[in-house]
């Protein structure tokens, strides 16, 4: 086991030099001018941190060797968007959205011709990063710190486009906003970015949907902010090709009397790793976190959750389920941290799995840290 892990870690390290070459040759014209300083700063962070290895506690069950090698191979590619046949086929298979809001990105780039935002309610702002001015763009990125998270840093370093959703104070946007990130089968490393910001007393329903064909590589980052008394119902659905690699980071915060209902579903990808970090920052903030994955063959799905209770009377509930067969593997790690002063915290966690094969494996690790008396 140690030899296998060391070999995989060596493959990760070897691929980093090629990723650095890709950043040096990738033209800045790929992204808005206001993004370039953030990209350079993020890559410096990534270069200093490197990708996590299996000897890191949070990654001991999941190797990024394939992710690193595919990144090194794909990041120097510049996929075209001339042939939409594959994307059209993928979109046609989705439920009819003529009366809804649909925002489509193909290989990380916004496609207005495939999107429909005409039914957006007053008070709902849907803006691609490629259309944001420098001041607004900087404000959005400042809410999404890179810190030492190598995957978020990598996403920022190669970021070309994304979507900013802002719901004004008091706005009730109950109709679904369907944000689709599609990979059309070209050898591309895609860095999707979605930010969702709800004002005071606002409501919204957002679906983040990943679809694709071929050996796609996705490194997604999502930022969610719920202000006082706001309520967001958020669904993340990953249904990419079974040959793809999908890595996702979600960062969420909920203020006083706010609520987040999150549903995370994984049906696709050869390797899927999802990290969700939630901050309950205001008194009586609440979150319901639901998850489901299905895996067969030799597929690997890893869900890592961290919930920080920082204020009194905050509540959270985690409920994750998995179904695996053949030689598939599932991982669940749920960490709840009750910080000093977070008296009256109520946190619940449940992870149950159905294993349909003697060769399939599930690793479950619940963690609880309490620092308040």
Average pLDDT, the chain: 90
With cut-offs at 50, 70 and 90, classify the pLDDT of residue 254.
very high
How far is the C-alpha of 315 from the C-alpha of 282, rounded, in Å? 11
User: Quick check: 30 pLDDT over 70?
Assistant: no
How far is the C-alpha of 104 from the C-alpha of 117, rounded, in Å? 10
Report which of residues 203 and 76 the model is more confident about. 203
114-115-118-119 Cα dihedral, nearest 10 degrees: 120
Percent of the chain topping pLDDT 70: 90
Give the pLDDT score at 7.
Answer: 67
Give the pLDDT score at 192.
Answer: 95
Which region among 72-81, 288-297, 324-333 has the lowest average model confidence (pLDDT)?
72-81
The stretch 67-94 carries a mean pLDDT of 81
State pLDDT tens for residues 46-56. Answer: 888 888 888 89
Give the pLDDT score at 366.
Answer: 95
State pLDDT tens for residues 153-202. Answer: 999 999 889 999 999 999 999 889 999 999 998 888 999 999 999 999 99
The stretch 346-356 carries a mean pLDDT of 97
Give the pLDDT score at 98.
Answer: 62
What is the SS3 string spanning the chain? CHHHHHHHHHHHHHHHHHHHHHHHHCCHHHCCHHHHHHHHHHHHHHHHHCCCCCCCHHHCCCCCHHHHHHHHHHCCCCCCCCCCHHHHHHHHCCCCCCCCEEEEEECCEECHHHCECCCCCCCEEEEEHHHCCHHHHHHHHHCCCCCCCHHHHHHHHCCCCCEEEEECCCCEEEEEEEEEEEEECCCCEECCEEEEEECCCCEEEEEEEEEEECCCEEEEEEEEEECCCCEEEEEEEEECCCCCEEEEEEEEEECCCCEEEEEEEECCCCEEEEEEEEEECCCCCEEEEEEEEEECCCCEEEEEEEEEECCCCCEEEEEEEEEECCCCEEEEEEEEEECCCCCCCEEEEEEEEEECCCCCEEEEEEEEEECCC
Give the pLDDT score at 86.
Answer: 85
pTM exceeds 0.95, yes or no:
no
Give the pLDDT score at 1.
Answer: 47
Token pair 């979150």 is at which residue?
287
Give the pLDDT score at 346.
Answer: 97
Rounded to a whole number of angstroms, the CA Rg of the chain reads 20
User: Quick check: 82 pLDDT over 60?
Assistant: no
User: Quick check: 3 pLDDT over 70?
Assistant: no
Give the pLDDT score at 373.
Answer: 76
State pLDDT tens for residues 234-245. Answer: 999 999 999 999
Give 112's contacts (C-beta < 8 A, 6+ positions apart): none
How far is the C-alpha of 141 from the C-alpha of 156, rounded, in Å? 9
The stretch 224-243 carries a mean pLDDT of 97
């Amino acid at each position: 086991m140690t030899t296998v892990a060391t070999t995989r870690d060596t493959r990760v390290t070897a691929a980093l030099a090629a990723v650095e070459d890709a950043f040096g040759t990738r033209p800045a014209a790929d992204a808005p001018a206001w993004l370039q300083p953030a990209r350079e700063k993020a890559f410096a962070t990534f270069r200093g941190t490197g990708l996590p290895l299996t000897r890191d506690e949070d990654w001991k069950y999941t190797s990024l060797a394939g992710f690193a090698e595919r990144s090194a191979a794909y990041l120097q590619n510049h996929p075209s968007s001339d042939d939409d046949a594959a994307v059209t086929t993928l979109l046609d298979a989705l439920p009819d959205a003529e009366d809804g809001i649909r925002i489509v990105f193909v290989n990380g780039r916004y496609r207005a011709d495939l999107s429909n935002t005409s039914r957006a309610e007053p008070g709902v702002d849907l803006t691609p990063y490629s259309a944001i001015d420098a001041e607004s763009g900087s404000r959005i990125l400042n809410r999404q710190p890179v810190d030492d998270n190598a995957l978020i840093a990598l996403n920022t370093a190669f970021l070309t486009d994304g979507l900013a959703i802002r719901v004004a104070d008091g706005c009730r946007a109950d109709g679904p906003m369907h944000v689709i990130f599609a990979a059309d089968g070209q050898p591309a490393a895609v860095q999707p970015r979605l930010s969702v910001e709800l004002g005071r007393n606002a409501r919204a329903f957002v679906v983040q949907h990943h679809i694709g064909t071929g050996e796609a590589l996705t490194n997604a980052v999502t930022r969610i902010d719920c202000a006082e008394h706001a309520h967001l119902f958020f669904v993340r659905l990953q249904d990419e090709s079974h040959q793809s690699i999908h890595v996702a980071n979600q960062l969420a915060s909920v203020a006083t009397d706010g609520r987040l209902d999150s549903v995370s579903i994984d049906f696709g990808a050869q390797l899927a790793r999802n990290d969700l970090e939630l901050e309950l920052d205001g008194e009586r903030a609440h979150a319901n976190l639901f998850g489901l994955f299905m895996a067969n063959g030799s597929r690997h799905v890893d869900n890592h959750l961290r919930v920080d209770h920082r204020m009194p009377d905050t509540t959270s509930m985690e409920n994750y389920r998995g179904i695996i067969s053949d030689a598939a593997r599932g991982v669940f790690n749920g960490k709840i941290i009750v910080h000093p002063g977070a008296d009256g915290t109520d946190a619940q966690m449940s992870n149950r799995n159905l294993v349909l094969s003697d060769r399939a494996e599930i690793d479950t690790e619940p963690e609880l840290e309490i620092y308040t008396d």
